Amino acid sequence: MINQYQSNQAYAREQDARDPLRQFREQFIIPPAKSGGEAIYFCGNSLGLQPKNTRSYLDRELEKWATYAVDGHFHAPEPWLHYHRLLKEPLARIVGAKPEEVVVMNNLSSNLHFLMVSFYQPTTKRYKVLMEGGAFPSDQYAVESQVKFRGYTPEEAIVEVFPREGEQTLRTEDILAAIEQHQDELALVLFAGLQYYTGQVFDMAAITKAGQAAGAKVGFDLAHAAGNVPLQLHDWGVDFAAWCSYKYLNSGPGSNSGIFVHERYANQAELPRFAGWWGHDEKERFLMQKGFKPMYGADGWQLSNGNILPLAAQRASLEIFEQAGMDNLRQKSIQLTGYLEYLIREEVSSKANRLQIITPSQPEERGCQLSLFVEKNGKQLFEQISQAGVVGDWREPNVIRVAPTPLYNTFTDVFQFAQLLKKAIKEQ
**290 with 191, same domain?**
yes
What confidence tens digit (pLDDT) does each residue in 412-428 have?
999 999 999 999 998 88
Q: Which of 322, 344, 368 is the last residue of a domain?
A: 322
Using only C-alpha atoms, what is the Rg of the chain?
A: 22
**386 with 279, same domain?**
no
**313 with 330, same domain?**
no
**223 with 279, same domain?**
yes
60, part of any domain: no
68, part of any domain: no
Q: Which of 322, 353, 383 is the last residue of a domain?
A: 322
Element (H, E) at 187: strand 186-192
**285 with 159, same domain?**
yes
**117 with 19, same domain?**
no
Per-residue pLDDT, 2: 47
| Residue pair 124/106 in contact by the 8 Å Cβ criterion | no
67, part of any domain: no
Give the side-chain half-sphere CA count within 13 A for 340.
31
Show the low-confidence residues of the chain (pLDDT under 70). 1-3, 350-353
**318 with 330, same domain?**
no
312, part of any domain: yes
CATH number at residue 278: 3.40.640.10
CATH number at residue 366: 3.90.1150.10
**86 with 177, same domain?**
yes
Host domain of residue 141: 78-322
Count CB-CB contacts under 10 A for residue 118: 20
58, part of any domain: no
**298 with 331, same domain?**
no
372, part of any domain: yes
Per-residue pLDDT, 375: 87
Q: What single string gives the DSSP state of each residue in 192-241?
A: ESB-TTT-BBP-HHHHHHHHHHTT-EEEEE-TTTTTTS---HHHHT-SEE
| Residue pair 418/347 in contact by the 8 Å Cβ criterion | yes
Give whole-number Cα distances, 85 to 25, 61, 79, 99, in Å.
28, 15, 11, 9
**176 with 258, same domain?**
yes
Per-residue pLDDT, 351: 56
Q: 3-class SS at 144?
A: helix
Q: How far apart are CA 285 and CA 293, in angstroms?
A: 9
69, part of any domain: no
User: Looking at the 3D structure of the chain, how many domains does it have?
Assistant: 2
Q: How far apart are CA 333 and CA 45, in angstroms?
A: 13
**210 with 95, same domain?**
yes
59, part of any domain: no
> Is the pTM for the entire model greater than 0.85?
yes
Q: Which of 268, 299, 322 is the last residue of a domain?
A: 322
What confidence tens digit (pLDDT) does each residue in 244-290 have?
999 999 999 999 999 999 999 999 999 999 999 999 999 999 999 99
**30 with 112, same domain?**
no
